[in-house]
Amino acid sequence: MSSVAPRVRFAPSPTGMFHVGGARSALYNWAVARQSGGTFVLRIEDTDAARNQPEWIDGIISALASIGISEQDPAFEGPYFQSRNADRHREAAAQLAAAGKAYHCDCTREQLKERTGSEHLGYDGFCRERGLAYEPGRALRFRTPDDGETVVVDLVRGKPAFPNASIEDFVIARGDGSPVFLLANVVDDLDEGITLVIRGEEHLSNTPKQQLLWEALGAKAPTWAHLPVIVNEKRQKLSKRRDKVALEDYLADGYLPAAMMNYLMLLGWGPGDDVELRPYEELEQRFRVEDVNTSPAFFDVKKLTAFNGEYIRALSPEAFVQACEPWLTAPAAPWTPEAFDPAVFASVAPLAQSRLTVLSEITTYVDFLFLAEPVFDEGSWNKAMKAGAAELLRDARSTLESAEWAAEPLKAAMEAVAAQHGLKLGKAQAPVRVAVMGRTVGLPLFESLEVLGRERVLARLDAAPRRLAGE
C-alpha cells in the first residue's frame, strides 16, 4: 500500500440488521485506517427510500460502536448520507453526457429482446450514435470503450483484467434523470477522497464499470481490495433467509463484543502464527489487507462459540457478574424481580463462569436458585429417574438432613448413599441433581446444594418421589 495515509470507507445501507459480513468489512477498514494514521469514513447509502428506516441508521452506528468503531475516535469521519449528495450525482451525469462519454437511450426491454433474441445478452449499443437529447423516459448510458481492457489493481486478487468488449454500455441515470447507485457510489467516493475501497467480493463484477467512471470523470481510481465471501457449513453464501447473520442477534444471545471482533477478524485473514485468541489491538496492528485470502471464509458458529467461552472465562469476576446482568434482570427472566438475589448469584457466579459459552445460558444454570420449584427438563428426568430412584432419593434425604451443610460434607454424605446402593457417585447423584436443580447438566451439585440451603433441598427431595408416583 501507499505510504500516504489512506482514506477508507464503510458504506452500508440502512435496510436491515447489521450483517456479520458487513461487520468484518468495517473492522478491516478500521484496522487499515487506525494502523496508518488514516481515516475511516462512514457513509450511509440511503437512497432506497422505500426500504430505508431511520432506526436502521441508529442500528448501524450502535453496532459499529459495539465492535469498537467509535464516532469519538480521531480516525472516524462522518456519517455522510448519500441522499444528501443527489445534486452532485446529477451534475456528474450531465458532465459525462456533455463530454460525449454517455448518451441517452430510449430502448425498451422488449425492443432489446426483439433485436437480440434474448433478454440476457446485455445492451447492444443501438442508441450510441442516434444523438438523442434527454426526455423523460430516456435513460443515460455510459459509452464503454470498444477496445482494450480495464485492469483493476486489487490488493487481495492481484490485477484482474476485464475486456472492455465484455462490458455493456451500462445505465448511469434512469429515465427520470436520477443517477443509479453505480454512479452515485463513484461520485461519493471521489468527493470524499477515498483512496482504498475494501469490500466484499460480490462487488468485484461492478469494479471495472466504476473504474471506467472514475477515469471518465478525470480522476484516479482508488486501489481496491475485495474480501472473500463468507459461507455456512454447507459452503453456501451466508443468507439472512436461512442463516443467523445479524451481529445484533449474536450480541443479544450473549456473545461478547470482544469475541465477535476477534473471530470476525479471522474470517479470511490470519495473524501469521498459530495464536488465534488475541486482543483486537494486536490483531489491528498485525492486519495487512494484502494477506487476506481469496478462498471463501467459513463462518463456523461452533468455533465462534468456543472463542466466546474463552473470552467469558477471561473476564474478571466483577465483569462477569456485570455482563450477565441484562439476562438476570430482563423481563423475560424466568423468575420475578423480587425473587432474584444478587448476593446469591454472586456466590455461584464463578461456578457458572467456568461453564458458560454464551451469556444467555446463565438463566438455565441458576434458575433453580430463584424459583420456588425447579423447572424440570423432561429428558433429564426420564434419564435419571430409573427404577430405584425413589428409594435412593429418600435415603439421600435422610442422610443429607443430618449432614454438615457445606459442599465437602454433603459430597461425603452422598458417597455413603451411593455405596449403600452399590453405585458410583456419578450414578447416585443424578436423581438428586434432577430433583433439586431440574436437569442433569449445570453447576456443580454439592456447591449448589450448599447455596440453595438445607430447607429447600430437603423439600425438593421430598417432592421428587411424589412426582415419580404421579401424585
Query: Can you state the angle between helices 301-314 and 257-265, rounded to 10 degrees?
Result: 130
User: Which sign, positive or negative, has the C-alpha torsion 351, 354, 358, 361?
Assistant: negative
Asked if residue 127 belongs to a known ligand binding site, the reply is yes
What is residue 377's three-state secondary structure?
Answer: coil
Helices (H) and strands (E) in the chain, counts: 19, 12
Burial group, residue 271, by CB count within 10 angstroms (0-12, 13-18, 19+): middle
Q: Grid coordinates 451534475 are at which residue? A: 91
Asked if residue 324 belongs to a known ligand binding site, the reply is no
Backbone angles phi, psi at 429, to 5 degrees: -85, -15
Maximum C-alpha span of the chain: 101
Q: Which residues have CB under 8 Å from 186's CB, separation 6+?
A: 92, 210, 213, 214, 217
Residue 38, CB half-sphere, CA atoms under 13 Å: how many? Answer: 24
Q: How far apart are CA 90 and CA 93, in angstroms?
A: 5
Give which of 53, 49, 28, 40 is closest to 80, Cα–Cα. Answer: 40
From 240, 244, 303, 386, active-site residue: 240
Measure CA 459 to chain center.
45
The three cell numbers of residue 175 are 429515465
Give which of 45, 284, 297 is closest to 180, Cα–Cα. Answer: 45
DSSP letter, residue 129: T
Give which of 213, 183, 222 is closest to 99, Cα–Cα. Answer: 213
Q: Is 427 one of the annotated active-site residues of the chain?
A: no
Q: Grid coordinates 433453580 are at which residue? A: 368
Q: How far apart are CA 389 and CA 434, in angstroms?
A: 11
Length of the chain counted residue by residue: 471
Q: Grid coordinates 448476593 are at which residue? A: 343
Q: Are 69 and 27 in contact (CB under 8 A)?
A: yes
Q: Are 247 and 66 in contact (CB under 8 A)?
A: yes
- Contacts for 412-417 with beta carbons within 8 Å, 24 or more apart? 414/446, 417/392
Q: How far apart are CA 121 and CA 359, in angstroms?
A: 53
Q: Are 27 and 63 in contact (CB under 8 A)?
A: no
- Residues annotated as catalytic are 240
Annotated binding site for Zn(2+): 105, 107, 127, 129
Q: Could you tell me which residues are annotated as the binding site?
A: 105, 107, 127, 129, 240
- Binding region for ATP: 240
